[in-house]
Structure 1
């Protein structure tokens, strides 16, 4: 069986090594020879391994799309429009597809699944969420028995690395981001990571699967991480908390969905607080099984390649047994309700440059909660509040930012 590989970057190289160079145990699971025969890359000078006499690099996607001997396409180019077009074309051409592209899956999930079903082929996307963590397959298994009504997790390795370093070393956000970029943990343009788009796309995919209806990135409320400072990490520690960047969705009343991506605080002893660097953790709650947690590397060459090749092996076995899975159909119309279901105590830091700024912040907080602890230090005021609904607190902070934009807040998970 022949495979076409779209993309020969870090993850693509990892997939190539597992399939064509026999790294790992992939070949031991096969009754027939399975190889990558063509690899799409924009660099015509890129070479395959010297000992590989089968694969070759091509620069024209038609060389893969129009090849009738290629049965599986592995799409690892990244980006949105170009890869979406190639995935769609491959499915329409009767080729099975494996991808790790969370942006494409979260935006075109239902459309691509429909095209796959119409052409009697399989679309697999395990590596689009959680890297090497087998969360999508596990979630599908739990849904055979359970109604899943909650998902939350640390889903982005870049932001978790930044927060872990800030916690360990007392460094500030900007310096830690530069470090992450210098060692390859963050992109040159880190917007997707630090503004929450990466997490929201992953959360949208998992929530769509769990709740039976489509949720897109645009449906998820996102708060970025760039306002966090070393003083916030220190203050959280003084209260016995660790700051983490969390994606969280909840299903209520059968079809009401609440979603958020934001900085939060967990107690130092909690499991979430002790997930560091590039590691991820994902929690799902079922009505029968209760809470399950999945932990592992959420990014990286080998972890992600492992998930991609696992999907390819699944398809190969389906073809061999002539036993394709029942097409996934999203039948439920979900009512996206924002963040109203989330409630908790809050930590808030506001930088103050005048008595007027201080009074403005104090009055704004007074309007939403009567009881709070207040500390004033070094031209900053810190609040620890009583429980407040998330949408109410968001609106209150927006009011504070009319006078002072330099502030940070996080909801506390007890």
Structure 2
């Protein structure tokens, strides 16, 4: 049986798990790939640090030696970030090595350049692990649904934020307390900003949108809001309306044929499949013209789940090395325009603290009407200084809804706009 030599960049939580599985499951992986997959070198920051289950002889401090070694056939990149990962991957591709990566930040920012390099060298670039960990979602979009027309992709793609929002919903926890719990359990970093402010989800949304709509989408094209402003009061209102708050990554076609890509917290009905996705799990809901509605669900992060996706890609590219040919190249033929957030159609749930006196509702309704935003329901709670209006709108352009909120803040009878949340997946 032919032997393919594998080099790896990085041996953190994910990389160490990949290395252990490559060594432990060598026989099974060989049978599936049609070739022996021999791990020959792992680039790390500290090659003297002992790593359980990984022979010290495999470790090196010289990452460039791996991507430039003519004996190495396949490269796995799990160091993350932009530099030096970008230059290392480009060098590996240039040198004729197929690359498997989990680097969503790099793909979302420089995916086109990486694809071009892989295309020029006639090698594979696979990255299933870059979005939603072990969940197979990129390959279905890239291959299984390539004969269909995707209309919308909507998903929970960040486990940290989903864990926090789950605890706020189920236990009534405040945001800060739920975040501390997530950090204590290892679901959130000491600096959680990439997760809670939506940067991680935005990178994944860009990748999903590019594959779904055959257009180049970068992280700069994604409208982004995080969950740090979500309060226990927001969650309580959502519960009363039989809804739940989730941080959603959404990519969809607009009526004008552009692509809208956004990440933000949103209310969804508790009957929606995504509402039942709890804790650190991820799920992606796909709507296609012929296939209809599908949901992909599972563990979205962690060493073992991510390693599973990496090894699945590694077997795929190894088969191509053995049998000839390569996998799908970049599909950007549609070249659709990216819609600005103001062009997107959505719905709002707006909580207003108002004066409890005659004419308040009329004044508020007038503001909505002036921007041609239709109100679906209005509910008042409290009285006196604690009177609150909860307004649910019908679908409208984001720009009209945003202008409505701006004018409501200046209305004399409105003491405060307590919160504004988008509503998704509700007819």
Query: Normalising by the residue count of structure 1, what TM-score does the alignment of the two structures yield?
Result: 0.90
Q: Are 2:385 and 1:394 aligned?
A: no
> How far is the alpha carbon of 1:78 from its aligned partner?
1.2
Q: Aligned residue for 1:34? A: 37
The residue correspondences of 1:370-389 to structure 2 (distance < 5 A) are: 371=375, 372-377=377-382, 379=386, 381-389=388-396
Query: Structure 1 residues 32 and 214, CA, compared in 2 at 3 Å: closer, same or farther?
Result: closer
Q: Aligned residue for 1:19? A: 22
Q: Aligned residue for 2:146? A: 144
The residue correspondences of 1:19-98 to structure 2 (distance < 5 A) are: 19-22=22-25, 25-49=28-52, 55-98=57-100
Q: Structure 2 unaligned runs (5+)?
A: none
CA RMSD, 1 decimal: 2.8
The residue correspondences of 1:239-278 to structure 2 (distance < 5 A) are: 239-252=241-254, 255-278=257-280
- Aligned counterparts of 1:114 and 1:57: Cα–Cα separation in 2: 30
Question: Cα deviation per residue 1:25-82 (whole Å; 9 max; x = unaligned)?
Answer: 43442444312221111123223446x5585211121221222211111111111222
- Aligned counterparts of 2:125 and 2:335: Cα–Cα separation in 1: 23
Question: Cα deviation per residue 1:328-359 (whole Å; 9 max; x = unaligned)?
Answer: 3422322112235644542223568999xx99
The residue correspondences of 1:7-406 to structure 2 (distance < 5 A) are: 7-22=10-25, 25-49=28-52, 55-252=57-254, 255-340=257-342, 342-350=344-352, 362=364, 367-368=370-371, 369=373, 371=375, 372-377=377-382, 379=386, 381-389=388-396, 390-398=398-406
- Aligned counterparts of 1:171 and 1:326: Cα–Cα separation in 2: 45
- SS across alignment from 2:36: coil
- SS across alignment from 1:335: coil
Whether the 8 Å contact between 2:252 and 2:261 is mirrored in structure 1 is yes
- SS across alignment from 1:78: coil
- Aligned counterparts of 2:264 and 2:86: Cα–Cα separation in 1: 28
Question: Cα deviation per residue 1:308-337 (whole Å; 9 max; x = unaligned)?
Answer: 011111011111101223533422322112
Query: Structure 1 residues 173 and 53, CA, compared in 2 at 3 Å: closer, same or farther?
Result: closer
Q: Structure 1 unaligned runs (5+)?
A: none
Whether the 8 Å contact between 2:47 and 2:56 is mirrored in structure 1 is no
- Aligned counterparts of 2:179 and 2:387: Cα–Cα separation in 1: 24
Query: Structure 1 residues 271 and 367, CA, compared in 2 at 3 Å: closer, same or farther?
Result: same
- Aligned counterparts of 1:4 and 1:379: Cα–Cα separation in 2: 63
Query: Structure 1 residues 145 and 376, CA, compared in 2 at 3 Å: closer, same or farther?
Result: same
> How far is the alpha carbon of 1:306 from its aligned partner?
0.3
> How far is the alpha carbon of 1:253 from its aligned partner?
5.7
- Aligned counterparts of 1:189 and 1:350: Cα–Cα separation in 2: 32
Query: Structure 1 residues 352 and 178, CA, compared in 2 at 3 Å: closer, same or farther?
Result: farther
- Aligned counterparts of 1:411 and 1:181: Cα–Cα separation in 2: 28
- Aligned counterparts of 1:25 and 1:171: Cα–Cα separation in 2: 46
